[in-house]
Structure 1
Amino acid sequence: MIDRAIAVVSPARAVRRQAARKQLDILNTGYSNSGASKQKKSMRGWLFRGGSTKEDIDENLDTLRQRSRDLYMNTPLATGALKTIRTNAIGYGLVLNSQIDYEFLGLSEDEADAWETQVEREFSLWAESLMADSLQMHNFYELQQIAFLSFLASGEIFVALPYRSHIEHKYALRVQLIEGDRVSSPSGTSGTSDNIMSGVELGNYGEVVAYHICNMHPLSTGSGKKEWIRVEKFGKESGRQNLLHLMESERPDQRRGVPLLSPVIESLKQLDRYSEAELTAALVSSLMTIFIETTEDDDGSGSIIGEGIAETDQVDQVDETTVELAPGSVIALNPGEKANTSNPARNNTSFDPFVTAIMRQMGAALEIPYEVLVKHFTSSYSASRAALLEAWKMFKMRRTFMAKRFCQPIYEEWLTEAILIGRVHAPGFLEDPLIRRAYSQAEWNGPSQGQLDPLKEVNAAIKRVEAGYSTRAKETVELTGGDFWRNHAQRVREEEARRAAGLDLPYLEIMKSMGEEVNQENGED
């Protein structure tokens, strides 16, 4: 009302007041001064659109999975990145080290050690057998490698634990790996109808109650009718976990995993194209091929098209004019044809620095330092060790994830079966959840951290043990991945054998001198 009144008396002043009010509306405050600014010229061209996990993740999963797996199969850098994580985090497979709470169970240390040794022996009987796999192709440790690599490439993997008896095997537990693509919404359901979101069925409170698994891979070209099986996450009567779902969550309400390579898919593909183009250019420039141009015959007739091209030189049998260049090859051209070359004048000196810069960015996104990503340690000892330590943080985190989400649940399922069939004795295991937890506690040991200077690493381990910061058992696992107690028993046997054979001369001389001193004190010869 005031503006309208002023406009009647002084239109110019009313215009200035309106302009000032508009200027107040566009002033930046807080994040609008930088990342959320819509007025800066540098940010106006930024096209963006946010959404929930359904729009941002679920609707893009098929494309992300297929592109990620394509990079793994066809791009060396992507293959190396995933296998580097697999090899350092899992290696040959995480090995069981039973660590029961013997104090809570009322057992002595000797009784606990005997129980743990028996369980580890029984578990090895199952884990090292092909019967651990539902396909009867891999043992438990090889299944860990497959599951983890698929988890990295596809973003997730599902694990079923069926029981199938075998006449020559004591245990019926099997591990069935299910690729994430097969968990999808059944035909006829769209969006979030029937509380099914991307194959995940939700309860009244948004919790996961079941998964819908297709009987065949959705990308398979085989014939057959697609059918979906509904598998509840937990059994109604037993409460056991019927299906393990290995994935990393980035946001709340996220129920499907994202491939590890997703943030760097474009960079990896463009870098692969650039490397291939440079390789092709270098190859072509290194070839020396001679083209001979002919003239028309006396009668004026030309030679047949492609007459001078041998079949072995043709790359494409459909196109007769497509020729493969080779060092020292001689190719005859038809009358009137000329061979022209294209020199793109690439600056090859900038290839390596540019590729290195891109790989450093991708390494930061994948949590793999550049030196570890390309296995190129040319810096100082301190810099190389810092890179290894930084990478080892990520490796340990993923190893812990795999141990808790894959190895431990399967071990607890196996231990339950072993107790039920009488192979393992554990009083109260089935009645009290605290007793069950006490018996089920375990460590999962994998490959040790790499060492640049083993002597320095061993000296540091000795000092940590002497100062009480660590134990011999822990240092043995981290340095060599071994078992201290088994090493100790083996060393006792070895030393006794050496002394019995008279090979440990310093020890024999010390014992002889000590014996002479004792005899002199007792007055004996």
Structure 2
Amino acid sequence: MRALRPHARRPFRRPACQGIRASFSHAVVGRASSPLVPGVVQPVSRDAGAFRGTLSNYRPWRPSLVAGGQERTTASTRSEDLVANDWAGRSMVDTITLNAVGANGLFPQSIIPAALLGLDEEQARDIGDRMESIFKLWCESAGLEGQHFADLQFMGLRSALVHGEMLHIPVMVDPTKEGGFLGLRMQPVHPERLCTPSDKRALHNMRDGVELDRLGRPCALWVAEPAPDLWSGRLGWGALGSDSFRRIPHRLFHRPGAFHCFRRTSEEQYRGEPILSPALKLFRHLADSLEYELIGQIVAASFPLFIKVADGTQGVEDYLGQFQQGPGGQGGQERVYHQSYAPGQVLYGNPGDDVKPLSSDRPGANWTGFVNFVVRAMGASAGIPYEALLKDFSKTNYSSARAALLEAWRVYMLWRQWQARSYCQPIYRMVIEEAYLRGLISLPTSAPGFYEALPLWTASMWIGPGRGYIDPVKEAKANISLIESGLSTYGEILGERGLAVEDVWAARGYEDRLMQRLAPRLAARLDAASFVAGAPPEDDGFPSDDDGDGDTNHDDAEEGDDAATA
């Protein structure tokens, strides 16, 4: 076998075609990796943005600052008129107000974070109880005219629903002369008084009575305050000059200078919108329609009787002459035109009149369904179900009624939390601050100072009226199951009922001690019954033979228990 000889090393030569192939590959890869030119294919036309078909005349427009303020004022006035005179508008406002705030208002429960302030739980609880007691005493005369704080909350939320905003001014009085132990008072003001003076409409930083700073934030409010002897109200508040207004700062350092509260639903919004605005036409037209139908029913129910009298009829000439006297006292010169009908009235027509009996086929067969549909639409505009708006649960079962109340409860909680966040909590902080400065509250020296941790010292949770239950037995069983499974707390469940866990347990402890002292036999019997009912069975991981029959099946025991329960 011949030995293999290594090849001689020869220089590498790139073929001419390979160089062309390499340059072509580089060009192709380069073009494939680069993005295409965007915007070549235009999207299809949108009917929502075109003026054709049924939307050809749909041309929304943005009013100027002055026109926008006038529209907001008109909408607020119309909403106030509807709530004052329309049953549906009043029902919507009262339903939300009563469920969100209630008759007794929202009350605070102090939740001072003890760990963050370096305190133990007992110290934090004692300080919180002291703050709650002071605030409760202040609530008795919170208003400038002596209103309770619950009444101020009710009035403020109602104004926020009717006018879209509430305006309360904090003022300081002398407690030695006005009564009480704190000087803070709240003055409710009608939101219509908040407007731009006539000599400041051209300023770029004025927005319908709200003055803005260089960053676009509200810095002051202009509230009309004309002289009573010079104000007639004919020209409106906007006709007054700045000398008839008071400029109220929006904030005084860390304290609010005015409570101008409204729910912001859009960007760059400085004034509120009434809750009835989206369906205001429905409210007004339904009220007119119901009034016309009612008038038609009244006319048909009056059942007037018409008698046609021919010319020359004997026996009624004298009687007709009493009603057909002309301006000159000559009978038979003027025709009689009846404009109203009294129940059971007998009317005589003029000679030659063609009399037809009155009959009414109103309302129509679909009238009830139409009214229900309109009312549902009005309630949907504010998130209120039909059943909650009209208080009508006659056509619902348990599941549908509970679903309707849950949907309504979300709306109530939205307004409640907004009221607590924007109005109640800042006032609570102002009251506690004044009480601290007057020496009514003392804090541990080892803890941070009051102003160093102001949000922590004044932290609180606001509790309102309870949600209510459709079937209390089912709701109670569900709550017990949630607590036993660890998915809920006593405070959460009692909070839904409008109660504080400390107050409930304190009252239960007092009642237990009272029962032990006054009715010891009843207390012993209840304790024994609760022990038997709540005794947990022993569980070692294996089926037990509690009945001693050698069988781990307890069907017979369960049947005996059921029979005893029955």
Q: What range is the shorter-chain TM-score in?
A: 0.7 to 0.9
Equivalent position amino acid for 1:104 in 2:
L
Letter in 2 for 1:230: R
> CA RMSD of the aligned region, Å?
3.3
In structure 2, relative to structure 1, the CA distance for the partners of 1:261 and 1:373 (3 Å cut) is same
Give the Å deviation of 1:498. 2.4
1:132-183 superposed Cα distances (whole Å, 9 cap, x missing partner): 11123x2110110011001100011112111011333211101111222111
Q: CA deviation at 1:265?
A: 0.8
Please, which of 359, 369, 383 is the counterpart of residue 353 of structure 1? 369
> For residues 499-518 of structure 1, what are the structure 2 equivalents within 5 Å?
499-500=516-517, 501=519, 502-506=521-525
Alpha-carbon separation, structure 1, partners of 2:340 and 2:491: 62
**Distance (whole Å) between structure 2 residues aligned to residue 382 and residue 223 of structure 1:** 51
Q: Tell me the residue number matched to 1:94.
A: 106
Structure 1 residues 220 and 369 mapped into 2: Cα distance closer, same or farther (>3 Å)?
A: same
Q: 1:63 aligns with which of 53, 74, 79?
A: 74
Give the distance between the partners of 1:280 and 1:219, measured in 2 at CA.
Answer: 37
The 1:213–1:431 alpha-carbon spacing in structure 2 relative to 1, beyond 3 Å, is farther
Residue 7 of structure 1 aligns with which residue? none
- Distance (Å, rounded) in 2 between the aligned partners of 1:34 and 1:194: 36
Alpha-carbon distance in structure 1 between the residues aligned to 2:431 and 2:113? 19
Which residue matches 2:162? 153
CA contact (8 A) 2:297 2:360 kept: no
Contact 1:303 1:334 in 2 (8 A): no
Q: 2:165–2:271: 8 Å Cα contact kept in structure 1?
A: yes
Partner of 1:29: 43
Determine if the alignment matches structure 1 residue 407 to structure 2 residue 424. yes
The alignment partner of 1:468 has SS state of: coil
The AA in structure 1 aligned to 2:522 is: L
Aligned partner (choices 435, 446, 459) of residue 418 of structure 1: 435
Given that 2:167 and 2:190 are in contact with CA atoms closer than 8 Å, whether structure 1 keeps it comes out as yes
Whether the 8 Å contact between 1:368 and 1:391 is mirrored in structure 2 is: yes
- Find the aligned partners of 2:473 and 2:68 in 1 and give their Cα distance: 48
1:305, 1:334 within 8 Å by CA — same for their partners in 2?
no
Alpha-carbon offset, residue 100 of structure 1: 1.1
Counterpart of 2:24? none
Aligned to 2:459: 441
- Deviation readout 1:336-389 (Å, 9 max, x if unpaired): 778766656435221110011111222211100111111111222111111111
User: 1:267 maps to what in 2?
Assistant: 282
Q: Do 2:111 and 2:461's aligned partners in 1 also have CA atoms closer than 8 Å? A: yes
2:247 match: secondary structure: strand
Q: Within 1, Cα distance between the matches of 2:426 and 2:71?
A: 30
1: CA distance, partners of 2:398 / 2:48: 39
Indicate the SS of the match to 1:171. coil
Do the aligned residues in 2 keep the contact of 1:50 with 1:56 (CA within 8 Å)? no
**C-alpha spacing 1:59/1:427, structure 2 compared with 1 (3 Å):** farther
Deviation at 1:333, TM superposition (A): 6.5
Q: Which amino acid aligns with 2:380?
A: A
Q: Does 1:108 align with 2:120?
A: yes
Question: 1:198 — aligned with what?
Answer: 208
- Contact residue 53 and residue 254 of structure 1 kept, 8 A: no
CA distance in structure 1 between the aligned counterparts of 2:380 and 2:448, rounded to whole angstroms: 47
Instruction: State the partner residue of 2:225.
Output: 215
* Aligned-partner SS, 1:504: helix
- Counterpart residue type for residue 487 of structure 1: V
For the structure 1 residues 465 and 339, does the alpha-carbon distance in structure 2 shift closer, same or farther, using more than 3 Å as the test? same
Is residue 259 of structure 2 the alignment partner of residue 244 of structure 1?
yes
User: Which amino acid counterpart does residue 143 of structure 2 have in structure 1?
Assistant: D
Gaps of 5+ in 2: 1-40, 326-335, 533-566
- Cα distance between partner residues in 2 of 1:508 and 1:100: 35
TM-score, normalization by structure 1 = 0.80
C-alpha separation in 1, matches of 2:305 and 2:42: 67
What is the CA deviation profile of residues 93-147 of structure 1, one whole-angstrom value per residue up to 9, with x for unaligned ones? 1111111112222222222222222211111111023xx11123x2110110011
Partner residue in 1 for 2:271? 256
Other structure's SS at 2:279 match: helix
Cα distance change of structure 1 residues 337 and 249 upon mapping to structure 2, 3 Å threshold? same
CA distance in 1, matches of 2:366, 2:441: 65
SS state of the match for residue 429, structure 2? helix
> Is the CA contact 1:57–1:258 (under 8 Å) kept in the aligned structure 2?
no
In structure 1, what is the Cα distance between the partners aligned to 2:503 and 2:377?
A: 44
Higher Rg: 2
Cα deviation 1:218-251 (Å, max 9, x = unaligned) = 994699995111111122xx43210111112222
Query: In the alignment, which of 483, 491, 496 is matched to residue 508 of structure 2?
Result: 491
Supply the distance in 1 between the matched residues of 2:356 and 2:67 (Cα, whole angstroms): 49
The answer to whether the 8 Å contact 1:53/1:253 transfers is no
Write the mapping of 1:123-162 to structure 2, written as runs, cut at 5 A: 123-129=135-141, 132-136=142-146, 138-162=147-171
The aligned residue for residue 6 of structure 1 is none
The one-letter code sitting in structure 1 at the alignment partner of 2:135 is F
Query: Which residue of the partner structure matches residue 480 of structure 2?
Result: 462
Note if contact 2:167-2:191 (Cα within 8 Å) is conserved in structure 1: yes
* TM-aligned CA distance change 1:249 to 1:223, over 3 Å: closer
| Secondary structure of 2:509's aligned partner | helix
What count of residue pairs does the alignment treat as equivalent? 465
> Is the contact between residue 161 and residue 175 of structure 1 (CA under 8 Å) also seen in structure 2?
yes
CA–CA separation in structure 2 for the residues paired with 1:147 and 1:219: 27
Deviation at 1:291, TM superposition (A): 4.6
Which moves more between the two structures, 323-332 or 240-249?
A: 323-332
* Match of residue 51 from structure 2: 38
The match for 2:494 is: 476
2:131 counterpart residue number: 119
Once the 2 structures are TM-superposed, how far is the Cα of residue 51 of structure 1 from its aligned partner? Answer: 1.9
SS of 1:263 mapped into structure 2: coil
Conserved? CA contact 1:291–1:332, under 8 Å: yes
